[in-house]
Homo-oligomer: A and B are copies of this chain.
Amino acid sequence: MTNSVEKRSSTAGLLPGTLVHIGRKRAEKVKIVVSNYDEGHFEEKEVRRAEDVAAFKDKINVTWVNVDGLHDVRVVEELGSIFGLHNLTLEDILNTGHRPKRDDLGDYILVILKVLAYEEMGGGRAAEQISLVLGRGFVISFQERPNKMFDPIRAQIRSGQGLVRKSGADYLVYRLIDTVVDNYFTVVEKLGERIEELEDSLVTDPRAQTLQNMHNLKRETILLRQAVWPMREVVSELERAESPLINRSTAMYFRDIYDHVFEVIDIVETYRDMSSGMLDIYLSSVSNRLNAVMKVLTIVATIFIPLTFIVGIYGMNFKYMPELEWQWGYPAVLLAILMIVAGMLLTFKKKGWM
């Protein structure tokens, strides 16, 4: 879990203006795709250098710059200078340990989100950061690494389906955030399936491994909560549409996202409640098992220890032990033993131990 804390300490003492990428380093080249569209026009191009984006800047249509990879600080810096982003904005984009937020800087709005890459959760990192910059006529999206998440939106832009081509940059931002929130539902469903599996195994087979699984589940739920809770505020601020960058008509779509975020939170909180209940069941199962083991021990010991004492009596070597001489002594002892066993079994039955 602790590796989700990005190593920020290395930046302590640096000039606040020094841009440093905080997050996993990667070797591959940063990929920049620029789309420019309006209702009648569409153009898409992968550019090699950040400088090439400048050509798109002053077009009247909507420009969407998508950047896959943050490890090349110069790319972010260059884009920042083209689109007039504040140094602190660039820092926020590069610091991938940031919590989701929305900053209105007047000329543009910065939105920071978390995508939960469920497949990797078991391993190291769980949350990827997506930063969106919504300006007048342009949207820049930064992702930590190549990701097919936004492909359906790009496809719709290309084909002219839906409302994207007919709408402005704010609608594109809505679609991007909506995609991220839909991703939470996927994560939540998978989490739900695992909880269900775990619940079944609790009753049938409570083992130490179960505990570990519950702990892992808890970790992931915490991660999910950290990603989703701040989204409420982020989306509700966007919905209020106090910035001229967001149309009143788009605000309603953000309201829709807001409801979705609340749904996810509801489910996650339910999972939290269920998880704590599961621990109780687990601990009780363990207790019950201990009880079962102890009962077996007690039954066996309680029956045989007294019997061993009885046969021990007649194993004594005293000279004068009249019973030993009796012809029916041995069968009598055996009979007595049988009766004691029967009596004890009856008692245990009555106590409900057997």
Contacts and interface: CB of A to CB of B under 8 A. Distances in A.
Contact of A263 (B91, B99, B196, B289): B99
Interface residues of A, number: 113
Nearest to A306: B304
Contacts of A290: 287, 290-291, 294
Contact of A330 (B97, B252, B318, B326): B318
Contact of A284 (B283, B308, B334): B283
Contacts of A14: 152
A8 B284 contact: no
A121 B5 CA distance: 21
A119 B147 CA distance: 42
Instruction: Decide if the interface of chain A is mainly helix, strand, loop or mixed.
Output: helix
Interface in A300-330: 300-302, 304-309, 311-321, 323-330
Contacts of A8: 182, 185, 189
B315 A267 contact: no
Contact of A222 (B7, B152, B203, B274): B274
A287 B286 contact: yes
Contact of A301 (B9, B92, B305): B305
A253 B284 contact: no
